[in-house]
Amino acid sequence: MSERFRSDILFFFDKHIDALPIYEQLEKQIVSLIPETKIKVSKTQISFSLTYGYVFVSFDPCKKAAERPPIWLTVTFGLGYRKTSSRIAVATEPYPNRWTHHIMISSVEDIDDELLGWIREAASFAAQKRR
């Protein structure tokens, strides 16, 4: 990992440093699952992409404050249909047959086979988009 990339990550987590270990485990799992992934850190999110973004990490509060754990990340992914699960806090259809799903994770244990399966499916869906 480049020093520049690492400093961008630390800057992103500046006000949420306790969530950094969760992110590091998520990044490790995603890169292991989809090695050709590119990661881009911006002010408001970290994007994981192939040609197109397929999963995004942010501190977007997809739940009311009273429902959020003290340490959390929002993981956002897109699919061609609405995924139903009690883990999904919000699902919207910004375009026909393009559903955006937001889930809140609060521990490394939340990075399980179900979440990684959704991420793999989102990467496949993003790869099928027209260029």
Q: If you ran DSSP here, which 8-state letter would residue 17 be given?
A: G
Joined together, the tokens standing for residue 60 give 């977007």
Q: Do residues 70 and 79 make contact, with C-beta atoms less than 8 angstroms apart?
A: no
Architecture of the 3-127 domain: Alpha-Beta Complex (3.90)
pTM value is 0.91
pLDDT digits (tens, 9 = 90+) for 64-119: 888 889 999 999 999 999 999 999 999 999 989 899 999 999 999 999 999 999 99
Is the pLDDT confidence value at 6 over 90?
no
d(CA 35, CA 72): 25
Specify the pLDDT at position 37.
95
Rounded to 10°, the helix 113-127/20-33 angle is 60
